[in-house]
Amino acid sequence: MTNAKKSEVLQGTLDLMILKTLHALGPQHGFGIARRIEQVSRDVLQLNEGTVYTSLLRLLQQGWIAAQWGTSDNNRKAKFYSITARGEKRLAVETENWERISGVVGRVLRLEGER
C-alpha cells in the first residue's frame, strides 16, 4: 500500500480509531496513541506524528477529547489526551456509521457473482 493510499484511508477513520483507543486504554499521549494503533493494525498502518497531532487538535476543538500535561514513562513532560462524555457519544455514533457503511461496501464488493 502506498503512502497516498494509506492517508486516504486514514483521513476518514483516524479520528474514530483515536477515540476508540482512548476509550479502551484511558489517557494516552500522542506517541502512545500512534504506536497502539500501529500495533493493533499489525503495522499495516504507519502513522507519523503530524498526522496524529492534526487529528488530536481537531478532536480537541470538537470537545470530544481533553488534554492535560503529565509525565511519560520515560520521565518526559507530555500532553495526555482522554475521551470526554461528548467524545463517548460521538464514538458510539461513528462506530454505528462505520459498521453500516463497511457492511454496504462489503456487499457491493461481493456483487460480482450476483448478476
Segment 26-56, tens digit of pLDDT: 999 999 999 999 999 998 888 888 889 999 9
Q: Nearest Cα to 91, choosing from 14, 19, 11?
A: 19
Number of domains in the chain: 1
Q: 10: pLDDT confidence band, cut at 50, 70 and 90?
A: low
User: Domain residues for 78?
Assistant: 3-113
Which CATH number do you get for residue 25? Answer: 1.10.10.10
* pLDDT score of 1: 46
Q: Are 19 and 87 in contact (CB under 8 A)?
A: yes
